[in-house]
Structure 1
Amino acid sequence: MKIWKEYNIMKIWQIAIAIFSIIAIILLSVFSSFSYPYVEKVSADWVVDDNINIRIKAVVENPNFFSIKIATLICKVFLNDIEIAEGLDKNIVLQRGENNLSIDLFLDTNKIQKWWTKHIKNGERSDVIVEYMAMANFFFFNKTSKTRKLYSTITTDFTQKLSFNKTKAINVSLNGIETTLLFVNKFESKWQYVDENITIINSSIQLYNPNGEEIGIENFTYNVFLNGIKLGGGWLADNITLAPYATVNTYCYMRIQNEEIPDWFESHLRSGETTLYEIRSYAKLLYGDSVYFIQPIEISGNFSTNFLEKVL
């Protein structure tokens, strides 16, 4: 009787092992043929309210004949490899075939100063990269996949916007007659230095005195505004004296405080990726015994970007 019981127990164990082996073989066979879902289409848009988010919409294809559970889906957006936005979703079930997903990414404006620095150093060019990392659960198995793709590329020309080469006449009322006392022939700006704290722009200015008497320029200062936000400014280190009919080329440095860049960037997005740029200048012009307050440089205009314009 004891031998018979031992024989039955052994038989049960053999059957159980065989069943588990068959199940394991089936699971391994299915898992080995497992095809990971892939993104077919992706689009991105700004969501602007109290906060600024990036909404990613994707069409994900599940090529398997069974549904898959994505335990965690993490999505990130990079500008020149600097992570500026991140969002996640959990417990997503992908049915067989096409699945439409939407995820909101929080924009971290604290990273914008770093982006600005790299954007300028990269020749005013930024690549927008979208990265997905999905962790899928399939029976007792876990699988992680990461996809990183170029979404778009943007370029800007800030220094070109802050320049002009069209002569500007500075007119004043002299004995009741409008008289030209100074010509500003050109104002050119070039990048000089940039780090995470400051940006320095080297500007050259050409002035011409069309009169038979010398003139003086004192206290020449100018400020730069983007969407009404003062980013910084510059000034001439020395006063200038222009002899009659003389042309003078001089240089000045414009200093931008980078801590203002995130506020400008947010205003840029809230304005539909549009910025009004302005340079406002002030100087004293001395002619004979008279002093005139003038605005030698006046630059204004608009520029737009499209960070989320898809190229791939």
Structure 2
Amino acid sequence: MLGGKLAAASTLKIAAAVLGVLSLSIGGAWAVGIIGAPSVVVVDNAFGPVNESTTTIESEIVVDNPNPFGLRLGGLTIDYAVEMNGVRMATGGREGLGVNASGNSSIPLTTRMNNDRIPPWWVTHVENGENTTLTVDASIHSDLLGQSFDPQIERSVNTNVIGGFNSEEDRPIDVDRPFAPEPVLWLNSTSGQWGAVSNETTEIDTAFELYNPNPTPVAISEIGYEIEMNTVTMGEGATESAVSIAPGERETVRATTALQNENLDEWWVTHLQNEQTTQLEVTFYARIDLSSFGGDTIEIRLDSIQRTIETDIFGGGASDGGTEGEATPTPDGTETATAPDDEETATPDDTPTDDETATPTPTPTDDGLLAVGGSVA
């Protein structure tokens, strides 16, 4: 009995020693170049189901194993993260992975991004002149080789939402009153630029150049506005901008509008559900004093700015001012992409909830890297 226990213990010690020697041998073989390091060759991403609180990112990571043996027993793990201007948007990972010998293996990942990450990212996007650096990291670690491989991809997202407020088109302003001339004013140009940005609001400073073609002055006491993105009200209000425009004169009337950043996550859901397309509409009205024409003060529509915003965040196209980015190679020549999130850890078998709506799947680029374009707000 005792002899049997001693024999079993001895066998276990021998097995452990053999495994230790094997592990050291493989690690040493990697160090001298006999065994190659696995690398990420492709990271494909697409938006999956989205609901009012979360956005699903479906990813496929292709790993190249140059060795004649698989790494299924090597304690292989992948950590995945996405950041936009340093704001962590989503993270995920898988453990206990296996890759095939001498070739590529596809590893699927499902990452859930909290939609409340959209407002803080938006602030950085505007503060950087509507420029975002999208970073995707896919870190691979092999316990068997005792090494980590950390390729990274960076791409630029550039938009020009504010450009939609700029126009040099002459437009007549009619009031449709029998006692008032037509037009009562001419709108010669509109312009806009970003104002103060905080965690709560994003201000837009607008200017309207108005011309009075009539022989009597026209007074404007107030300018109001409403901003909608895919019918989601992003901001509304009025600003007192009293100005009197003399006969035959031009005046610039200024107003500051404010986007409510807390509504950006609600807009984001509609943006994905509409195939990454947003219809932006900003409607302005003015209160005009028509007493010089024998009338009273009335409210009329001053202008309406409409703009289509399209994005192709994980696809190969670019629209509405988007530009393609460059992948940043790591010392070993591999490339990666980044997708951020502070609190959400992805699992490969996440099942969408009933209230989630699937969004169209973008077509991956030929090289499998992230291509980003267009406007995101």
* Amino acid of the structure 1 residue aligned with 2:121: W
Structure 1, unaligned runs of 5 or more: 1-12
Q: Which residue of structure 2 lines up, in the alignment, with residue 284 of structure 1?
A: 287
Residue 17 (structure 2) pairs with residue 33 (structure 1): no
Contact 1:234–1:253 (Cα < 8 Å) also in 2 = no
Share of identical aligned residues, percent? 21
Change (3 A) 1:21 1:145: same
CA positional deviation for 1:27: 3.6
Q: Which residue of 1 aligns with 2:124?
A: 118
Partner in structure 1 of residue 257 of structure 2? 254
For the residue of structure 2 that corresponds to 1:120, the secondary structure is helix
Measure the CA separation in 1 of the matches of 2:69 and 2:160. 51
Query: How far is 1:294 from its partner?
Result: 1.1
8 Å contact kept, 2:80–2:93: yes
TM-score (norm 1): 0.85
Change (3 A) 1:137 1:294: same
Name the one with the larger strand percent.
1
Question: Displacement of 1:158 after TM fit?
Answer: 1.4
Q: CA deviation at 1:234?
A: 5.3
Shift in alpha-carbon separation, 1:29–1:99, aligned structure 2, 3 A = same
Give 2:104's aligned residue: 98
Distance 2:14 2:230 in 1: 74
Q: Is the 8 A contact 1:74 1:133 kept in 2?
A: yes
Aligned amino acid, residue 278 of structure 2 = T
Q: Residues 90 and 166 from structure 1, CA distance in 2 versus in 1: closer, same or farther, beyond 3 angstroms?
A: same
Q: Distance in 1 between matches of 2:15 and 2:309?
A: 69
Quick one: structure 1 residues 22 and 308, their matched pair in 2 at CA, closer, same or farther if it must change by over 3 Å? closer
Q: Equivalents in 2 of 1:98, 1:78: separation in Å?
A: 26
More divergent stretch after superposition (245-254 vs 181-190): 245-254
- What is the rounded CA distance, in whole Å, between the counterparts of 1:47 and 1:17 in structure 2? 50
Per the alignment, residue 230 of structure 2 pairs with 227
Question: Which runs of no fewer than 5 residues in structure 2 stay unpaired?
Answer: 1-9, 31-35, 317-324, 328-377
For these two proteins, the number of residue pairs brought into alignment is 297
Answer 1 or 2: higher relative contact order, Cα 8 Å, separation at least 6.
2
Please list the CA deviations of residues 138-175 of structure 1 after superposition, one character each: whole Å capped at 9, or x if unmatched: 2xx7544333222x322111111123221110123343
Take 2:77 and 2:19, find their aligned partners in 1: how far apart are those partners? 27
Answer yes or no: is 1:154 the counterpart of 2:157: yes
Structure 1's consecutive aligned runs of 4 or more residues displaced over 4 angstroms after TM superposition are: 16-26
Secondary structure of 2:175's aligned partner: strand
Residue 132 of structure 1: aligned partner:
138
Q: Map residues 128-207 of structure 1 onto 2, 5 A cutoff.
A: 128-138=134-144, 142-150=146-154, 152-175=155-178, 179-207=182-210
Residue 287 of structure 2 contacts residue 300 of structure 2 at CA under 8 Å; is this kept in 1?
Answer: yes
Q: CA, structure 1 residues 285+176, in 2 after alignment: closer, same or farther (shift >3 Å)?
A: closer
CA RMSD of aligned residues (A): 2.8
Is contact 1:184-1:207 (8 Å) kept? yes
TM-score (norm 2): 0.71
Matched-pair contact (CA < 8 Å) for 1:112–1:261: yes
Equivalent residues of 1:154, 1:305 under 8 A apart:
no
Aligned to 1:10: none
Measured in 1, the distance between the counterparts of 2:15 and 2:286 equals 92
